[in-house]
Amino acid sequence: MTGWQMLLYKEVLRFWKVSFQTIAAPVLTAVLYLMIFGHVLEDHVKVYDSVAYTAFLVPGLVMMSVLQNAFANSSSSLIQSKIMGNLVYVLLTPLNYWHWFVAYVGSSIARGLAVGLGVFAVTGWFAHLSYAAPLWIAVFALLGAALLGTLGLIGGLWAEKFDQLAAFQNFVIVPMTFLSGVFYSIHSLPPFWQAVSHLNPFFYMIDGFRYGFFGVSDVSPWISLSVVGVALVLVAAVALYLLRTGYKIRH
């Protein structure tokens, strides 16, 4: 393997060796969400006329798991390497910033999709799902995992201790994920909060992903694709700049 391939392999192996924690645990969390919300709200909430609430919930939980675990992978890897001091061994290699980016984001995509497939395999038994546009499902899952993996890379570069990274995740990533329409349609919100939801890029990832299953969504999937694509380009540009300048990793 070449250098970047070896780094990618190392990052994938890092989460795969503890898959009970990195894959099985998020799957269990998503199943608990489905059992609680689906059981309580199935007969009380109707989002789309032809879609049961439990079926509506499954794609949202899958995408939420993809996003959160893609972020956790790259961010936790960098902060652990910085604190433990073994990041120097990667810095000594002749890898350029593109190699770092591909390896860390690529492994985040792998973990996010692995968790998403696990959540889908388990929660799919609880609801009848259709597949109106499978290509949209794959596109938004891939772009969402890449975007959050890149955000995790930025968070890992910025944070100098676990407290800072936890604050970034708990006060930015988790609220934006939960307030993106995972458990509800934004049309059920008052007009002001609908407008606020449209400023959240996580909403477009989940809404576009859900369109691939049911063929209906709160906004056009092309609009969602444009927003997510632009967000990914901007965030990737920031991450590549930080890697190129050695932000908080080269002294």
CB atoms within 10 A of CB 108: 31
Q: Where are the alpha helices (DSSP H) in 17-52?
A: 19, 25-41
pLDDT at 156 over 90: yes
Q: What pLDDT was estimated at residue 125?
A: 84
Residue 251: what pLDDT? 64
Q: Is 240 helix (H, G, I), strand (E, B) or coil?
A: helix
Return the top range by mean pLDDT from 125-134, 178-187, 196-205, 228-237: 228-237
Q: Is the pLDDT of residue 141 over 80?
A: yes
Please choose, from the candidates 46, 56, 75, the residue with its C-alpha nearest in 3D space to the C-alpha of residue 174. Answer: 75
**Structure confidence at residue 241 as a pLDDT band (50, 70, 90):** very high
CB 151 within 8 A of CB 174: no
Per the model's pLDDT, the better-predicted residue between 202 and 178 turns out to be 202
> Residues 157-175: pLDDT tens digits?
999 888 999 998 889 888 8
Question: How is 105-173 classified by DSSP, letter by letter?
Answer: HHHHHHHHHHHHHHHHHHHGGGS----S-HHHHHHHHHHHHHHHHHHHHHHHHH-SSHHHHHHHIIIII
Q: Return the SS3 of 9.
A: helix
Task: Find the angle CA(23)-CA(35)-CA(204) to the nearest 5 degrees.
Answer: 65
67 has a pLDDT exceeding 90: yes
Q: What pLDDT sits at residue 44?
A: 61
Quick: pLDDT tens for 20-61: 999 999 999 999 988 887 777 666 666 777 778 888 889 999
For residues 226, 227, 231, 232, the Cα torsion angle rounded to the nearest 10 degrees is -40
Specify the 3-state DSSP secondary structure of 23.
helix
Q: Which helix (H) or strand (E) segment is 66 a member of?
A: helix 53-84
Task: Check residue 188 and give its pLDDT.
Answer: 77
